[in-house]
Chains A and B, each alone.
Chain A
Amino acid sequence: MKPYMMSLTEAAKAIDIGEVTAIEYTEKLLERIAETEPRIHAWVTIEQAKAREAAIKATETKQKSILNGIPIGVKDIYSTAGTLTTMGSPIYKSHVPTIDAAIVQKIKEKGAVVLGKTETTEFALHDPAPTTNPWNTSHTPGGSSSGSAAAVATGMCPAAFGSQTGGSVIRPASYCGIVGIKPTYDLLSREGIFPLAWSLDHVGYMTRTVEDAHHMLAALIEQEKPWKVSDLAPRIGVLRGYFKKNAEETVWKGYEKTINKLWGEGAEMIDVTLPDSFKLVPDVHRVIMAVEVAAVHEDQIRSRKDDYGDYIRGLSCQGSSYQQQPTSEHSDYEAL
């Protein structure tokens, strides 16, 4: 197997038993980036020197963590001390933070090698990043964590951080054919990450295998232990209803094909019914996001509107005027 296609777990084992050093592994991934990046545009900044330095340190210190010596990409809305952090916006094109986001600090303490910063849509919202889909470069990789998904899918790194307010981790992961995980709200600290809508923002990440996703989460929440595959068949919830009604036919066929495959392999499939009010979620989400995006950006949009894309300007315009709007006589929603 080519070194760049090793999963995070395989690479960690190889480093642990001395089959490969963190330095050698990092060099292989830097070679892979050099070969692939011109077509994929996954990175805003590649920190070659800092990555080599971190790989040497990981080799010397041998942290007892699966992340020791593992090169990781970080979305460009995460603060990284001494490394350009642009938020995908011309406003921050020269912004170099002095501190690391809490999660970046944590992975560094565990011996991870921060390879660089991955492309994001503008402020992790809508206006697209330059990244292409590795499976078809004329297609989108999905956003907003576009660079992270493309980098993991192409073997430039075995894992990369993204963030999700709506679908910004699981969508690009899906488009690029990898694993995306959006942990429970605030399970992973948002400190030092530029907010999109703070009530909805989640720290998440991508890997190429479920096993990797499991190990990485265990490391991030300080619960590392040996991987043990259960003898019991997995129990998987299946949603239809609202989703079937709103999905395109080809998407739904793919969904059902996957369900059948999992069932055929022995998984227990359980139908799950969501409360009727679930249909309100997209509307509730939109309103919260508009108001919070406006709270973050309104002042700056007024002074530098030409440096903002149309989508974020439009959303802020509505969000900032929202509080002055009357709603209705009904107050049932307050029950939520």
Chain B
Amino acid sequence: MSAKEYTESAKETAKALWGDEAEKARTHIEATAKSTYTVSNTQLKPDLEPVTRLRYGERP
């Protein structure tokens, strides 16, 4: 799913739940969808990320 498709999907979901209110919240929906997409599609490098290593039970 592309970022554009994901954002459109977010708008549709919000519209189904909130009706016209979702249109007023378009800026928020687009920004949060962008953030969600970015985070979801970022591949971390475990060897370079101390937080990730901690999660795997290792010390940095």
Contact = CB atoms under 8 A, between A and B. Distances in A.
Contacts, number: 114
Contacts of B18: 317, 320-321
Interface of B is mostly: helix
B40 A277 contact: no
27 contacts: A275-B51, A277-B52, A283-B34, A283-B36, A283-B39, A287-B32, A287-B39, A305-B21, A310-B24, A313-B24, A313-B25, A315-B25, A317-B21, A317-B24, A318-B10, A318-B28, A318-B32, A318-B33, A321-B16, A321-B22, A324-B13, A325-B9, A325-B13, A330-B41, A330-B42, A335-B46, A335-B55
A245 to B, nearest CB: 16
Task: Indicate the member of A280, A282, A321 with the most B CB atoms within 10 Å.
Answer: A321
Contact of A283 (B21, B29, B38, B45): B38
B7 to A, nearest CB: 10
B43 to A, nearest CB: 5
9 nearest A-B residue pairs (beta carbon): A283-B35, A314-B25, A314-B28, A317-B25, A327-B40, A328-B40, A286-B35, A321-B14, A318-B32
A330 B44 CA distance: 11
A198 interface: no
Contacts of B35: 282-284, 286-287
B51 A277 contact: yes
Interface residues of B, number: 39
B36 to A, nearest CB: 5
A135 interface: no
A286 B44 contact: no
A324 to B, nearest CB: 5
Nearest to A310: B24
A274 B41 CA distance: 20
Given A283-B39, A325-B36, A275 B46 contact: no
A319 interface: yes
Contacts of A319: 32
A276 interface: yes
Given A286-B35, A287-B36, A333 B28 contact: no
A322 interface: yes
Nearest to B42: A280
Contacts of B56: 335
Nearest to A324: B13
A317 B29 CA distance: 8
Interface string A294-324: 0000000000010000110111011111101
B33 to A, nearest CB: 8
B46 to A, nearest CB: 7
Task: Indicate the member of A314, A315, A320, A327 with the most B CB atoms within 10 Å.
Answer: A314
A315 to B, nearest CB: 5
Contact of A328 (B1, B17, B27, B50): B1
A158 to B, nearest CB: 38
Contacts of A280: 38-39, 42
